[in-house]
């Protein structure tokens, strides 16, 4: 059997602090601190606690070159643990699954820090709403009371600076003014098929195509994209869209077409609420667009590149803003959220986490007649038109 270390691995010396009543009784500060070594390997589903010996072995083994296990001088129990956890790989059939996962990370050309950040900031089964509400952090006053004032910007310079003129408003300004994150969707009204299709066309469709070769097509879209690669796919979760069965679809930007996917194992509304960490105010949206980057498409050009992951994140922001504006122009409400249970979605959408991920969910639909959940509309552009 030959072995090598996994491709992407960070070892973190971590200290955890827990309340310790015994410490208080002994006159201490009531906190017990424990230091340990944690292995963060991007191809694994979870972090792995390791001891000093495993750490020594991991730092000594090559991630590139295969070594005979006998020659590697690793104590038997330690090697068994490292193989079992997937931190060390072997060419034996028994370890083929882990070796294949590691190989997929190698093939995708991740920058190691980006891979680690991405892998260990994914959520599974998180419910983010109750905690925020209980701690009062869902309101501006509660934030100020709990956390103090937010850091202010450094003074931009002395004096008044060059004060710029406000341009006379145009139709574009009126559109921008109506862009307000929608947290109240109308559950009684279906979204017309044509409005739905138009928003998708403006946000996600290829407006033009360049065929470089049979297997190489570049797209021109309404949003910019790092390297012109447009690596972010759109998977849709629909409910109450005229002419469309409720469920999950994949969007083809080249043909402006939808492909039905296997149904979620719970009703669509419940699926969306879980996917968005309990944010029930977004779960009623008629259309939820899951932004699914194909990282390997970006990293095909930008291999192990320090900026490539950041650029993909920025692209999600462009898509999101375009979705807000396209929906607003169609008279609809829109939102984006980064509070997503991405691991759960990866499973439901059948994604390969070595190559793909979930960055955010944007959505749109009819606004409800009444505001139940707060929206940020201080000028009354959406909920109370000026003059009323
Ligand atoms: C990247 C991103 C993530 C966001 N995530 C959430 C979220 O998880 N939940 C939510 O209710 N709003 C979310 N929002 C919306 C913001 O709360 C909202 O933009 C902000 O309060 C300003 O309001 P406005 O969009 O109406 O101007 C997000 C916005 C952005 C840009």
The answer to the question of residue 146 being in a domain is: no
Please tell me the total count of domains within the chain.
2
Reading the chain (388 residues) residue by residue, the pLDDT tens digits are 999 999 999 999 999 999 999 988 999 989 999 999 999 999 998 999 999 999 999 999 999 999 998 888 899 999 999 999 999 999 999 999 999 999 999 999 999 999 999 999 999 999 999 988 888 888 889 899 999 999 999 999 999 999 999 999 999 999 999 999 999 999 999 999 999 999 999 999 999 999 999 999 999 999 999 999 999 999 999 999 999 999 999 999 999 999 999 999 999 999 999 999 999 999 999 999 999 999 999 999 999 999 999 999 999 999 999 999 999 999 999 999 999 999 999 999 999 999 999 999 999 999 999 999 999 999 999 998 544 4
Angle at the Cα of 158 (from 156 to 160), degrees rounded to 5? Answer: 85
Closest atom of ligand 1 relative to the 316 alpha carbon:
1
Q: What strand order describes the sheet that includes 9-19? A: 9-19, 31-41, 48-50
Identify the three-state secondary structure at position 5.
strand
- Among residues 314, 330, 333, the alpha carbon closest in space to that of 181 is found at 333
The pair of structure tokens assigned to 290 is 């899951």
Which residues lie closer than 8 Å to 30 by C-beta, 6 or more apart? 19, 20, 21, 23, 24
In a shared domain, residues 54 and 177: no
In a shared domain, residues 33 and 176: no
Q: Between 52-60 and 76-85, two packed helices, what is the crossing angle to 10 degrees?
A: 80
- Among residues 383, 296, 288, the alpha carbon closest in space to that of 327 is found at 288
Domain final position from 62, 79, 108: 108
Choose which residue among 123, 335, 374 to substitute to test ligand 1 binding: the one with the highest number of ligand atoms within 8 A of its C-beta.
Answer: 335
In CATH, what number is assigned to the domain containing residue 262? 3.40.109.10
Residue whose CA is closest, atom 8 of ligand 1?
337
The answer to the question of residue 280 being in a domain is: yes
Residue range of the domain that includes 252: 171-365
The answer to the question of residue 177 being in a domain is: yes
Query: Alpha carbon 339 to chain centroid distance?
Result: 8
Beta bridge partners of 213: 216
Which residues lie closer than 8 Å to 201 by C-beta, 6 or more apart? 256
Residue 281 to residues 4, 277, 364, Cα–Cα distance (Å)? 48, 11, 12
Kindly give the distance from the C-alpha atom of residue 258 to the centroid of ligand 1, in angstroms, as a whole number: 27
Kindly give the distance from the C-alpha atom of residue 301 to the centroid of ligand 1, in angstroms, as a whole number: 32
In a shared domain, residues 346 and 201: yes
The pair of structure tokens assigned to 240 is 């109450």
Assess contact for 250 and 258: CB atoms under 8 A: yes
Which residues lie closer than 8 Å to 39 by C-beta, 6 or more apart? 9, 10, 11, 47, 48, 49, 50, 54, 58, 85, 87
The pair of structure tokens assigned to 230 is 């447009």
Residue whose CA is closest, atom 27 of ligand 1?
180
Residue 20 backbone phi and psi in degrees, to 5: -135, 105
In a shared domain, residues 178 and 298: yes
Beta bridge partners of 71: none
Kindly give the distance from the C-alpha atom of residue 336 to the centroid of ligand 1, in angstroms, as a whole number: 6
Kindly give the distance from the C-alpha atom of residue 376 to the centroid of ligand 1, in angstroms, as a whole number: 9
The answer to the question of residue 202 being in a domain is: yes
Q: What is the rounded distance in angstroms from the CA atom of residue 203 to the CA atom of residue 290?
A: 13
Q: What is the rounded distance in angstroms from the CA atom of residue 43 to the CA atom of residue 103?
A: 9
Q: What is the rounded distance in angstroms from the CA atom of residue 179 to the CA atom of residue 195?
A: 17
Using the 8-state DSSP alphabet, how is residue 71 labeled? G
Element (H, E) at 147: helix 140-147
Kindly give the distance from the C-alpha atom of residue 338 to the centroid of ligand 1, in angstroms, as a whole number: 8
């Amino acid at each position: 059997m030959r072995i090598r270390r996994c491709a992407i691995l960070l070892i973190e010396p971590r200290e955890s602090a827990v309340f310790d009543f015994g410490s208080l009784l002994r006159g201490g500060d009531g906190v017990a601190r424990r230091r340990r070594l944690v292995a963060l390997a991007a191809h694994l589903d979870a972090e792995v606690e390791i001891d000093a010996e495993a750490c020594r072995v991991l730092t000594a083994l090559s991630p590139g070159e295969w070594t005979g296990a006998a020659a590697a001088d690793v104590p038997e129990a330690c090697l068994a643990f490292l193989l079992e956890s997937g931190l060390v790989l072997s060419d034996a059939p028994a370890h083929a699954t882990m070796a294949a996962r590691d190989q997929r990370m190698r093939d995708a050309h991740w920058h190691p820090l980006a891979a680690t950040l991405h892998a260990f900031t994914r959520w599974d089964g998180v419910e983010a709403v109750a905690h925020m509400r209980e701690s009062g952090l869902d309101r501006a006053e509660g934030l100020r009371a709990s956390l103090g004032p937010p850091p202010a910007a450094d003074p931009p310079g002395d004096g008044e600076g060059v004060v710029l003129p406000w341009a006379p408003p145009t139709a574009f300004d009126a559109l921008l003014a109506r862009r307000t994150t929608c947290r109240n969707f109308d559950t009684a009204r279906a979204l017309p098929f044509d409005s739905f299709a138009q928003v998708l066309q403006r946000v996600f469709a290829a407006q033009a195509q360049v065929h470089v070769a049979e297997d190489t097509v570049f797209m021109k879209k309404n949003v910019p994209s790092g390297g012109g690669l447009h690596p972010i796919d759109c998977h849709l979760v629909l409910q109450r869209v005229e002419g469309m069965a409720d469920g999950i679809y994949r969007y083809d930007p080249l043909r402006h077409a939808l492909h039905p996917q296997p149904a979620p194992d719970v009703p669509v509304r419940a699926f969306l609420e879980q996917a968005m960490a309990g944010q029930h105010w977004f779960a009623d949206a008629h259309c939820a667009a899951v932004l699914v980057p194909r990282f390997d498409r970006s990293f095909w050009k930008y291999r192990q590149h320090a900026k490539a992951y950041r650029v993909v994140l920025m692209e999600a922001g462009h898509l999101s803003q375009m979705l807000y504006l396209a929906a607003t122009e169609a008279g609809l409400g829109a939102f984006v959220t980064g509070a997503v249970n991405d691991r759960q979605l990866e499973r439901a959408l059948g994604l390969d986490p070595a190559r793909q991920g979930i960055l955010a969910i944007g959505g749109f639909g009819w606004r409800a007649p009444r505001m139940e959940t707060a929206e940020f509309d201080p000028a009354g552009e959406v909920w109370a038109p000026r003059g009323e």
